[in-house]
Amino acid sequence: MKFARLCLLFFCLALAPAFAARPPSQHAVMSEGHSLAVWSRVPSRPTHAILLVHGRTWSALPDFDLQTENRSVMLALVKRGYATYAIDLRGYGATARNADGWNKPNEAAADVAQVLEWITQRHPKLAKPVLLGWSMGSVISQLTAQQRPELLSDLILYGYPRDPGTTPPVPPAPATPPRETNTRERAISDFISPQVTSQALIDAYVVAALKADPVRADWKQLEDYRALAPNLVKNPTLLLHGDRDPLAPIAAQSRMFVGLGNPDKQWVVLAGGDHAAMLETTHEAFIAAIVAFVERPRLKK
């Protein structure tokens, strides 16, 4: 009997990597007549739901489900009981472009809102989903939270790239989408600190990113971002970034944090991390910060 149990244990251990490597489930969510690709990894008994919104250049799977060195954000959150979803915005990953080839911030925010509603329908017994955006995705997430705060519980702004104390100029959009070819140089640009990232991980990310997004998405109507204001964010908010992130200088993050419109807020700096801290050796600290914020004791009303 003991021998049989040992054999079963070895068999399960041998299969464990195969189970971990299974691809996430893909869903199609309709938003204003456009089909959005949404990826999911869901435990058998989830305790929370979370939606991840990718950055400017790369889509959901390279950013949040990289199958190298145990750096998949989706798998890490599933292990902690989270029904984890990640959206491909229009023109990214498995989501087709708009007919005119352009993305627009308010349209992207409406798409994120639609996916939040869809997640709530899938998990009616859970609290409203947590919304986490990385880099440009954090800006889209803030826009969503300002417009539809009732659709989410907590907001996590990770690698937030804007300074609320300034109003950046809006460059004119070209007549037609440039459709630039994405490059290896662009894929490695977020990895700044070699001390926290192995070359093997960077190489794996480059392969995954260029496979998912060979052509750069195009945006216009960036004046939509002028509606962003920290005081209009009414959801509890976690501001999260790596201390070596050049897109998230401390002074700008401080202005953002102080201005947030809900006193239930936290600011966490990932020591040693840069703009891609969720994929670096700061990965576990990144996950721990999310879990600690979402599962914090809350004031009873």
Establish if 5 belongs to a structural domain. Answer: no
Establish if 94 belongs to a structural domain. Answer: yes
Q: What angle do CA 225, 114, 155 make, to 5 degrees?
A: 60
Establish if 136 belongs to a structural domain. Answer: yes
- Cα-based torsion angle of the residue sequence 60, 250, 182, 61 in order, rounded to the nearest 10 degrees: -10
List of residues 6+ apart from 225 with CB closer than 8 A: 105, 139, 143, 162
How many residues belong to the chain?
301
Establish if 3 belongs to a structural domain. Answer: no
Q: What is the pLDDT of residue 171?
A: 87
Q: What is the pLDDT of residue 167?
A: 87
279-282's contacts with Cβ under 8 Å and 24+ in sequence apart are 279/63, 279/66, 279/71, 279/191, 279/197, 279/201, 279/205, 280/71, 280/191, 280/193, 280/196, 280/197, 280/201, 280/242, 281/196, 281/197, 282/196, 282/242
Q: What is the pLDDT of residue 15?
A: 39
Distances (CA, A) of 249 to 70, 237, 282: 28, 18, 18
How many domains in the chain? Answer: 1
Residues of the chain by 3-state class (helix, strand, coil), percent to 5 = 40, 20, 45
pLDDT by residue (tens digit) across 149-201? 999 999 999 999 999 999 888 888 899 999 999 999 999 998 887 778 899 99
The C-alpha atoms of residue 97 and residue 179 are separated, in whole angstroms, by: 11
For residue 92, the enclosing domain spans: 23-164+174-294
Q: What is the pLDDT of residue 279?
A: 96
Establish if 299 belongs to a structural domain. Answer: no
Report the predicted TM-score, pTM, of the whole model to 2 decimal places.
Answer: 0.92
Establish if 279 belongs to a structural domain. Answer: yes
Neighbouring CB atoms inside 10 A of 156's CB total: 28
pLDDT by residue (tens digit) across 110-146? 999 999 999 999 999 999 999 999 999 999 999 999 9
Q: Find out whether 219 and 104 touch, Cβ atoms under 8 Å.
A: yes
Establish if 89 belongs to a structural domain. Answer: yes
pLDDT above 50 for 6: no
Establish if 49 belongs to a structural domain. Answer: yes
CATH code: domain of residue 104: 3.40.50.1820
Average pLDDT value for residue range 66-90: 97
